[in-house]
Amino acid sequence: MAVKIISDSACDLPKEILDGYDIDIIPIIVNKQEKEYLDGETLDPMKLYEDMRNGEVYKTAQIPPTMFEKKFEEIAKSGESTIYVCFSSGLSGTYQSAVITRNAMKEKYPNLDLDVVDSKSASVGFGLLVYKAAQMAKDGKSKEEILKTLDFYVKHIEHIFTVDNLEYLFRGGRVSRAQAVVGGLLNIKPILDIPEDGTLRPVEKVRGRNRVLKRMIEIMEERGGNADLKNQTIGINHGDDIEGAMKLKEMIEKQYGCTDFVINIIGSAIGAHSGPGTLSVFFLNEKPSQD
């Protein structure tokens, strides 16, 4: 029996990949004032970005244990060997909550065959892990082989991204009010990444959109120059800025000859914090020996 791959909505994978590889998604909770939404189910990211541009504030909440219990019970009753690749523990309590629920469920269902993997990643950076696991599962690889590859990806996936407006990072507590105001006045675009501990880290500050895209391409070379970028699957996503995403894709194609991309809009769970205009690129900084 093939290994079943499940994930949560912060992986931001395109629907055609989710459907094509039969990947089940558990939605993250997104709130606007007193109203609760399910990321990707009852809230479309285009609506979120439109509202954010108009001053609306969205917040996110952890997946409730009851939602995990329902999904894990389905797995137990189906008897499927399953891997849940989840949102970074450095940015959310999702992983810890899933592990606690899984352990509790095993008391009722001792034969529950479920591994929970902390991606230490976000958005399509996280999605590339899920995608790779699903490809391997479809190819009939064993759970042990998939888990070994996931461990490599967790340690070597790079996230390079920029936000268009520091105001949204201020709302999420990532920068101060003064930094947001000054950044807006000077057209400063921060470059951030997610290091191995799965948290968020500022890398550089660049003035102007074109310069920040150029610098992101340079960082790809600095971090992934020995990782055979040309033959990787490169992830790109955007906060309602498909034009910027396609420009970034063209720059990567021209610079490195890459041909395989996963491109998608940033979902509501991540977009609630990063805001409209965000652009990200994801790649490996080392070539897997088994590829």
pLDDT, tens digit only, all 291 positions of the chain: 789 999 999 999 999 999 999 999 999 999 998 899 999 999 999 999 999 999 899 999 999 999 999 999 999 999 999 999 999 999 999 999 999 999 999 999 999 999 999 999 999 999 999 999 999 999 999 999 999 999 999 999 999 999 887 667 666 555 555 455 444 544 678 888 999 899 888 888 888 888 999 999 999 999 998 889 999 999 999 999 999 999 999 999 999 999 999 999 999 999 998 899 999 999 999 998 754
Instruction: Pull the structure tokens for residue 111.
Output: 């034969």
Kindly report the pTM of this predicted structure.
0.93
Residue 228 in 3-state DSSP? coil
Cα of first residue to Cα of last residue in the chain, in angstroms, is 23
Q: What is the arrangement of strands in the sheet containing 29-32, beginning at the earlier edge strand? A: 35-38, 29-32, 58-61
Asked if residue 49 lies in contact with residue 271, where contact means CB atoms within 8 angstroms, the answer is yes
CA distances from 83 to 6, 113, 252 (A): 6, 8, 32
Helical pair 94-108 and 65-78, crossing angle rounded to 10 deg:
50
Is the Cβ–Cβ distance between 46 and 128 less than 8 Å? no
d(CA 148, CA 97): 23
